[in-house]
Amino acid sequence: MTQETVAAATDAVLDREETISRDELEALQLSRLQHTVAYAYDRVPLYKRKFDEAGVHPTDLRELSDLGKFPFTTKDDLRLEYPFGMFAVPQHEVARIHASSGTTGRATVVGYTKKDLADWAKLVARSLRASGVRPGMKVHNAYGYGLFTGGMGAHAGAEALGCTVIPISGGQTERQITLIQDFKPDAILATPTYLLTIADAMMKQGIDPASTSLKYAVLGAEPWTEEMRHELETTMNIKACDIYGLSEVMGPGVAGEAVETQDGSHIWEDHFRPEIIDAFDPTVVLGDGQPGELVFTSLTKEALPIIRYRTKDLSRLLPGTARPAHRRMGRITGRSDDMIILRGVNLFPSQIEEIALRIPELSPHFQLELTRPEGQRMDQLTVRIERRDAVTTEGSAAAAKILQQQIKIHVGSSCSVDVVEPGSLERSNGKLRRIYDMRPKG
């Protein structure tokens, strides 16, 4: 897309950085990157130690490709430096703290200066605007508020854009439905599976989810597929776009999708430099288009500069379209630590979502259970999935067989499929847990 068609495709006034040329953007990235590595080295002992051990110095960063010489940062580094060891500013300059839930180990703690909060709000506003949200619209924010970055991050962004924010947070689904009907919001911000929960609960109450005032949904915080987009768009009569981010790098708004193209989120490269590496051999930096693990370096952050953070998210970098200078990320197929290895075959929950949603008898509500039956060395995968409402017992049995065959063909794994009653599986309140690993530990 040329800059003229960008302007024609959107009635919004864009940030200057959204419309600059790739050359101009890369020049900006280089100067910001040089500043960031020097700033991190001078202010955060962990970075000084790691750079010294790797034999690199901030002055070695002369061009963008030199970034590959610098060491990675991982979640373990943040855990080791718990709680504030990675902060680059004195505590009184930290305006806000967020943290991960810590369900899989020590929580990771992140901090923001006033300027970081302003930049974050600006990038969330930019992402929401790209996804169709406009100043003056009413925005129902169903991301969880609290230490999770979703609620407050989305809130500040919607406010910065000039919207009227309804800070409902996640959960209390009945109340969400009442407020959607009474306040008549234009847009909803939620995880895709929580929006599904809301739509499902509306249908149970006899409300047609397509009849609400909602026109836009900006969905993220967990992997979702094109099939799920289709499901949500058709049942709710909305345009659904992706928003991506992670707390260690900022929170929501690291990347956002344009409603006019709906072809993956544009990474806001004036604030983050992305790379793709081979998840199994991180010394290999891959070229654009190649699938691998996303790595981010912050370019403007003050409280928590982050150098080459390994996200574990599997994706690829694609050329910019609606925002030509900013590369897009392909849909996240999964996280490397969410990958199920079943008898040598790699499998992600999103692959099951993709296949199941193409079978009309099956709903998007499913769980994956991994077991190792006693005395056996082989793992067993059971896909437990709800049938759609009007489907008969025979219809369910036939659909189970098709799903099993399709998984075998497209993924290469044998599994059993259990089609269950509508409403019998746990519903999402935010990030949905898909995998239930019941295998003996150790």
Site for ligand DLL, rule CB under 6 A: 100, 143, 148-150, 220-223, 242-247, 251-252, 311, 313, 332, 335
Q: How far apart are CA 280 and CA 13, in angstroms?
A: 42
Q: Measured from the CB atom, is 41 or 143 closer to ligand DLL?
A: 143
Q: Measured from the CB atom, is 235 or 265 closer to ligand DLL?
A: 265
Q: How far apart are CA 103 and CA 433, in angstroms?
A: 12
Task: Give least dist CB 435 to ligand DLL, A.
Answer: 13
Task: Give least dist CB 389 to ligand DLL, A.
Answer: 28
Q: Measured from the CB atom, is 267 or 399 closer to ligand DLL?
A: 267
Q: Measured from the CB atom, is 58 or 264 closer to ligand DLL?
A: 264
Tokens of 260: 């006019």
Intra-chain end-to-end CA distance of the chain, in Å:
53
Task: Give least dist CB 326 to ligand DLL, A.
Answer: 16
Rounded (10°) CA dihedral 237, 242, 243, 248: 140
Q: How far apart are CA 70 and CA 435, in angstroms?
A: 35
H or E element at residue 403: helix 393-410
CA distances from residue 245 to 3, 149, 181, 256, 268 in whole angstroms, order as listed: 26, 9, 30, 9, 11
Question: Hunting for tokens 């897309």 — which residue is that?
Answer: 1
Task: Give least dist CB 208 to ligand DLL, A.
Answer: 27
What does DSSP assign to residue 73? B
Q: How far apart are CA 226 and CA 229, in angstroms?
A: 5
Task: Give least dist CB 314 to ligand DLL, A.
Answer: 9
Task: Give least dist CB 364 to ligand DLL, A.
Answer: 16
- Nearest residue relative to ligand DLL (C-beta): 220
Q: Measured from the CB atom, is 346 or 382 closer to ligand DLL?
A: 346
Q: Measured from the CB atom, is 251 or 305 closer to ligand DLL?
A: 251
What does DSSP assign to residue 369? E
